[in-house]
Amino acid sequence: MPLYKRAGLFNPHETHLEHSLAGTPLAPFSRRFWAFAIDGFLLALINIPSKVALQYFIEHKLHLGELHQSTVLHLHVKAQFNMEMTLDLLWTAFLVLYFGLFFRFTNGLTPGKRLLGIRVVSLTHPQLSLWQSIERALGYGASALEGGFGFLQYFLNPNHQCAHDRLAETIVVLIRPKRVHEPESPPTIQPAT
């Protein structure tokens, strides 16, 4: 066992997995953009129906839409339930789960990424772990900060990693690269019989 593999000693971050990925074609920005747009469109289709259903459930089944008043230790306590904030919080949790679970259980694919032939690949594990997938999904929020500059870091990083890629230690690769036109071999001539 190498000395650095013992507990309490620094383990170099560069892994054999990173070396095995050397030369893998990276996904171009246009494919990444359109894959994200496709996923965003699919999410937009379910946004309104899911919020309406949740609001109905919260108001009519849980009865949380009203002003609650109670007396605790002779103190009058008033609590107002904020439906809009609750729905936004639940939608954010759904987005993180959507991307996180898709990344984990399809090993780096979402419907948009699958359609455009790109995949998220871990730089530290053979497959994306659950935490790494959730971390990357949360990283989309970090990339959106400061006017989306985290997404534009694609152009500044030598491995075309956005902020969320670096946060989760991932890259996005082509799974259907353009085929290089190979010269045709001369046709074989069959002898006449």
Provide the pLDDT confidence category of residue 179 given band limits of 50, 70 and 90.
low
Mean pLDDT for 66-77 is 59
The pLDDT mean for the chain works out to: 81
Residue 115 buriedness (CB in 10 A; 0-12 / 13-18 / 19+): middle
Mean pLDDT for 94-104 is 92
CA–chain centroid gap for 138, Å, is 8
Is the CB of residue 4 less than 8 Å from the CB of residue 11?
yes
Structural domain range at position 36: 20-57+83-174
Residue 25 belongs to some domain of the structure: yes
Give dist(CA 100, CA 93) in Å, integer: 10
Residue 164 belongs to some domain of the structure: yes
Give dist(CA 33, CA 193) in Å, integer: 58
pLDDT score at 76: 66
Give the phi and the psi of residue 94 in degrees, each rounded to 5: -65, -40
pTM: 0.72
Count of structural domains, the chain: 1
What beta strand segments (E) does 21-65 contain?
A: none
Residue 75 belongs to some domain of the structure: no
Residue 121 belongs to some domain of the structure: yes
Residue 50 belongs to some domain of the structure: yes
Give dist(CA 166, CA 150) in Å, integer: 10
What beta strand segments (E) does the chain contain?
A: 68-72, 75-79, 118-122, 170-174
Closest CA to 43 of 92, 106, 115: 92
Provide the pLDDT confidence category of residue 58 given band limits of 50, 70 and 90.
confident
Residue 11 belongs to some domain of the structure: no
Provide the pLDDT confidence category of residue 128 given band limits of 50, 70 and 90.
very high
- pLDDT tops 80 at residue 154: yes
Residue 67 belongs to some domain of the structure: no
Residue 106 belongs to some domain of the structure: yes
